[in-house]
Chains A and B, each alone.
Chain A
Amino acid sequence: MAKFNLKVNGKIRKVDIDPTTPMLWVLRDHLGLVGTKYGCGIAQCGACTIHLNGTAMRSCMLPVSAIGNQEITTIEGLSENGDHPVQKAWLEHDVAQCGYCQAGQIMSAVSLLKNNPNPSDEEIESAMNGNICRCATYTRIKAAIKTAAKK
């Protein structure tokens, strides 16, 4: 067990926990932030994507001990009222089917647009390739990213 002061969605959150615990489970089990999802646990599906200092990162293989001062943002902290341009674009394109992967998709998309405000189709495909959508909403995701890029 070890104590950590984590910066999550702009707040300091204290946990006393096994330092090997992946951030995914710290968020879900200890901080009650369940928007970040478990899909594979081996950094292959992207369901657990969060931002570490604004950059997309898989949280399922990221031990809490590696966080230090870095700022964590989860889907819950992406915007105050669910009105981030990417979230709005997702609604406009009615992207979700089951919805389980979408928090991870959105976190990856936001990170992509931050680094590349006007990505080409190929750039979108590459940046998003680590996020599986088993319901296969890929064409809508791509359209939503393009819409968000225009805003």
Chain B
Amino acid sequence: MTLIKTSYNRRSFLKVSALSGGGFVIGFSMLTGFKPLDKQVEESALREIFNLNSYIKITDKGEITILSPNPEFGQNVRTSMPMIVAEELDVEWQKVIVEQAPYNTQLYGRQFTGGSQSIRQSWKALRTAGATARQMLRQAASQAWNVPLEEITTEAGVLYHKASGKSATYGQMASAAAKIPVPKEVKLKEVKSFKLLNTPQKNVEGEKIVTGKPLFTMDYRVEGMLIAMIVHPPAFGLKLKSFDAASVNKMAGIKDVFSIKVYNDDYAREMFDTRTFNELVIIVGNSTWEVMNAKKKLVAEWEPISTSTEKVSFFGQKRDETIPAGLENTNLHYQKMKEMNEKPAEVLRKDGNPEEAFAKAAQIIERTYTCPFLAHNCMEPMTCFAHVTEDKVFLAAPIQAPEFVERTISARLGIPIEKIDIELLRMGGGFGRRAYGHYMVEAALISQKVKAPIKLIYTREDDMTYGIYRPTYIVTYRAALDANKNLIGFHVKGGGFPESAVHANRFPAGAIDNYLAESWALPTNITIGAFRAPRSNFIAGAEQAFLDELAEVVGKDPIAFRLELLKKAKENPVGKNNDYDASRYMGVLELVREKSDWDSSESKKRNRGVAAYFCHNSYAAHVVELSIKEVQVIVDKVVSAMDCGIVVNPEGAVNMVEGAVIDGIGNALYGNLTFKDGAAEQKNFDKYRIIRHKEAPKSIEVHFVKNEIDPTGLGEPPFPPVMGALANALYKATGKRFYSQPFQPELGKVGG
């Protein structure tokens, strides 16, 4: 057993102990609001509720509620996080009621959904919360029965003293347990004795989802609420010059038309305060349709921005960022990126003597890969409910990074943080986009101005053209081979607008004696942001396609070739900062080789492609198998192997990997956001192609490496490499290598 100090959230226990003194009595309806439909109990029954800590509420009648700290955007933390608490608490999962915890970082620490970190960062805290409460219940029983603590056992929410035959439910002991001082140390279970974790459990909100319950911010309604929409410049590089409120304010249902500044001019932006269009026209009215109509009619004039410098503060580090003037074009982006990639760039890492290796090489392979900007296109467009009064700001929103936006809102509205309350609602998708909470700042400003509760709604067009995209990138790989086709040198150079995707210390760094990584970036006025596995979502596919081509040139099986490099990185690594564990990398490759039947002669006849990658603390490998009908790619099968340590909830985990695989295939084949004179050319789903039912793989098999390593995330890691596996399978099917995403237009030219 692991002994763990509980002091990590001492504050949270102290804070709730005030509440848990003697419990407090409320109507049970407060709980049933969150209960799955088949567990409704008498609404009127009064219950005494005891908070054993900020994650666990137990009523005197034995109902157990576990609060899930992090925002839910489809990765299923609202099921998996409470499961971790329930495991250590030792309760019957089917009877547990799950609630979204209030936003309160004093109680819950990091309430951030992103970077595939929810489970990894909260693993200990959640286990400790469960174990601590269980320990307090056992202590209460030991005192009540006057028997030694060690003799008290638990099972499914019941305390037992076997020798005397005594037993009590957690509910019966909750009152006494709430008065027990928080233990200084608790024992955590052995992984081997887990009963609930690593068993497949259904989404706790499944029933609400399939019955259309109001779970999302878009569904949020209060009496007297108005609807607000934005009108933003039609292109990047433009700003508001003037608008004519009279052009719409007489229209039916319209209440107000005005402009807002999202951030003050001198504001030092923080990490997620992306400033896209700082001045927006706002239309407020009674109903969505009326505001949408007014939005179409609004007369506004726009003017070019001039080049400016913005203050940016990233975790206390202040720097200046240049926002160039001009109306940008996609073809020029690509042209410029190719030019830049031919020049020397900033050296990020150098091992051995790469110049010499390339100079004496018998053969040099050089390939260049590119990708476009992508829009996140969360299914639920950006939205926020806000009610700002004299003394309080209340916001209900889909937000991945509440802690960041809370600071921003406080600074912008001049209202102390204590007066800002944020309700974390289920998000209709996130993918990184909802870390950028500008829409919450906008909603707060609008509510403050109109002095009413408002719901800000972005139309799909607003959402798709507002920026904060996955950047456009380029990367060139070069490999130096000696006369015996040994890999003697490796060179990666890349850049993009406005950042580079090169990860200098990732594989194959560490596996090659002479290695060089270079990087550059150019400014753009098109704003970018985190998009499911930032940077990896491009570089993994490019790197894995290049390694595939290299394996072919040196005449080796693609999996064997990678394993050989990894073996070297494991046994005799080059350099010190290699950012991966070569054995775990090999593990997923070996697993995918086995599960996909890679080495069988039957399987070899098919159009298969393999790729593996490590990012966001987890390892992923995929084998994609496809065929081509006319110019349509039919993905017949994908086999995935993952290593994310202990799998908390296999049901949700498999769903997540399947989604990432399809999303990756979709983006690699079709995802494309292009610009003409600063304006996005795709504004809605008629032009922006999202993968659909017909294009999804016919089958996806997901396998996990079994180990007892503390869990890491799954939202991002399976996504990047699938693009490489797809490109490699496409090569098998067409005899042509695909270097530029999206692949579909190119495929249209070559056919099957």
Q: Which residues of A contact B (CB under 8 A)?
A: 1, 18, 20-22, 25, 28-30, 32-42, 44-45, 47, 74-76, 78-79, 81-82, 87, 90-91, 94, 96-103, 106, 121, 124-126, 128-142
> Which chain B residues border A131 with CB–CB below 8 Å?
692-693
**Pick from A75, A94, A125, A137: contact of B211, CB under 8 Å:** A75
> Which chain B residues border A18 with CB–CB below 8 Å?
252, 289-290
**Pick from A38, A75, A121, A139: contact of B658, CB under 8 Å:** A139
Q: Are A132 and B690 in contact (CB under 8 A)?
A: yes
> Which chain B residues border A136 with CB–CB below 8 Å?
658-663, 666, 691, 696
- Give per-residue flags for B648-692: 1 if the beta carbon is below 8 A from chain A beta carbons, else 0: 000110011011111100100000000000000000111000111
Q: Are A44 and B686 in contact (CB under 8 A)?
A: yes
| B: number of interface residues (CB 8 Å) | 66
Q: Are B655 and A28 in contact (CB under 8 A)?
A: no
With A44-B684, A91-B207, A98-B428 known as contacts, the answer to whether A34 contacts B693 (CB < 8 A) is no
Q: Is B149 an interface residue (CB 8 A)?
A: no
Q: Are A42 and B684 in contact (CB under 8 A)?
A: yes
Q: Are B210 and A132 in contact (CB under 8 A)?
A: no
Q: Are A128 and B381 in contact (CB under 8 A)?
A: no
Q: Are B693 and A141 in contact (CB under 8 A)?
A: yes
Q: Are B685 and A132 in contact (CB under 8 A)?
A: yes
Q: Are B210 and A87 in contact (CB under 8 A)?
A: yes
Q: Is B221 an interface residue (CB 8 A)?
A: yes
Q: Is B489 an interface residue (CB 8 A)?
A: no
Bound-state CA distance A83–B206 (Å) is 12
Q: Which residues of B contact A (CB under 8 A)?
A: 37, 73-76, 202-203, 205-207, 209-216, 218-219, 221, 227, 252, 287-290, 292, 377-381, 426-431, 457, 459-460, 651-652, 655-656, 658-663, 666, 684-686, 690-694, 696-700
The 8 closest A-B pairs by CB, nearest first: A35-B212, A98-B74, A100-B428, A75-B212, A136-B662, A97-B74, A138-B696, A99-B209
Bound-state CA distance A124–B619 (Å) is 33
> Which chain A residues border B431 with CB–CB below 8 Å?
134
Ordered by A's residue number, 9 sampled pairs between the chains whose C-beta atoms are within 8 Å are A37-B380, A39-B685, A78-B211, A87-B211, A96-B203, A96-B209, A98-B379, A124-B693, A136-B661
> Which chain A residues border B691 with CB–CB below 8 Å?
136, 138
Q: Are A34 and B37 in contact (CB under 8 A)?
A: no
Q: How far is the CB of A124 from chain B (nearest CB, A)?
A: 7
Q: Are B379 and A47 in contact (CB under 8 A)?
A: yes
With A87-B211, A94-B203, A99-B205 known as contacts, the answer to whether A134 contacts B377 (CB < 8 A) is yes
Q: Are A139 and B696 in contact (CB under 8 A)?
A: yes
Bound-state CA distance A16–B609 (Å) is 59
Q: Are A82 and B210 in contact (CB under 8 A)?
A: yes
Q: Are A99 and B426 in contact (CB under 8 A)?
A: yes
With A96-B203, A98-B427 known as contacts, the answer to whether A134 contacts B210 (CB < 8 A) is no
Q: Are B289 and A94 in contact (CB under 8 A)?
A: no
Q: Are B693 and A128 in contact (CB under 8 A)?
A: yes
Bound-state CA distance A76–B219 (Å) is 13
| A30: nearest chain-B partner, CB-CB | B287
Bound-state CA distance A34–B215 (Å) is 9
Q: Are B379 and A76 in contact (CB under 8 A)?
A: no
Bound-state CA distance A87–B684 (Å) is 29
| B651: nearest chain-A partner, CB-CB | A94
Q: Are A100 and B429 in contact (CB under 8 A)?
A: yes
Q: Are A134 and B378 in contact (CB under 8 A)?
A: yes
With A98-B429, A134-B429 known as contacts, the answer to whether A129 contacts B692 (CB < 8 A) is yes
Bound-state CA distance A66–B290 (Å) is 18
Q: Are A100 and B694 in contact (CB under 8 A)?
A: no
Q: Are B698 and A121 in contact (CB under 8 A)?
A: yes
> Which chain A residues border B381 with CB–CB below 8 Å?
38-39
> Which chain A residues border B287 with CB–CB below 8 Å?
21, 25, 29-30
Q: Are A32 and B692 in contact (CB under 8 A)?
A: no
| A74: nearest chain-B partner, CB-CB | B212
| A81: nearest chain-B partner, CB-CB | B37
Q: Are B692 and A139 in contact (CB under 8 A)?
A: no
**Pick from B221, B655, B690: contact of A97, CB under 8 Å:** B655
> Which chain B residues border A34 with CB–CB below 8 Å?
212, 214, 218-219, 221
With A25-B289, A35-B213, A42-B685 known as contacts, the answer to whether A94 contacts B202 (CB < 8 A) is yes
> Which chain B residues border A21 with CB–CB below 8 Å?
287, 289
| B378: nearest chain-A partner, CB-CB | A134
> Which chain B residues border A102 with CB–CB below 8 Å?
209-210
Q: How far is the CB of A49 from chain B (nearest CB, A)?
A: 11
> Which chain B residues border A44 with CB–CB below 8 Å?
684-686
With A34-B214, A76-B211 known as contacts, the answer to whether A97 contacts B659 (CB < 8 A) is yes
> Which chain B residues border A33 with CB–CB below 8 Å?
212
Q: How far is the CB of A103 from chain B (nearest CB, A)?
A: 5
> Which chain B residues border A100 with CB–CB below 8 Å?
216, 378-380, 428-429
> Which chain A residues border B700 with CB–CB below 8 Å?
139
Bound-state CA distance A146–B511 (Å) is 47
